[in-house]
Structure 1
Amino acid sequence: MTTHACMRAGSMGKLWAGLVLLHVLLLPASAAVCAERITLTLKAAVTLDRDAVRLADIATVSGVSAMSLKSLGATVVATAPLPGKTRFVDIDYICIRLKQAGLDVDGITFQGPADVRITRNSATLPSKRIEKAVEAAIRNRMPWKNEDVTIREITLDDAMALPTGELTYRIVPSRNEDYLGRTRLALHLFVDGEPVRKTWVNATLSVMTDVVTVIKPLGKHQHIDPADLKVERRDLADLPSDTVRHMEDALGSRATQMVYPGTVLQLSMIALPPLVKRGDIVKIVANTGPLTITATGMVKQQGCIGDLVRVMNTDSSRIITARVTGPGSVAVDF
Structure 2
Amino acid sequence: MNRSAIGRVTVVCGFLSLCGMVGVSTAAASDLENGTRLQVHLPREVTVEGNQLRLGQISVIRGAAPIVAEAGEIPLGRFSAPGQSVVLDRPTILGRLASSGFAADRVRLTGADAVVVRRQQQIVEVEDFVEIGQQFLRQFASSHSVCEIIPIARPKDLVLSGQPQDIQLKPQLVRGAVRGHVTVRVQVMADGREAGTRDVSFRLRYRRHRVIAAEQIAEGAALTVENVRIETGISDQPEPPGWTPPYGWVATRTVAPDTEIHESMLSPAQTAVLIRRNEAVLIRMERPGILVTAMGTSLQEGRTGEYVKVRNADSSRVIVCKVMPDGSVEPAL
What TM-score comes out, normalization by structure 2 length? 0.49
Larger Rg: 1
What TM-score comes out, normalization by structure 1 length? 0.49
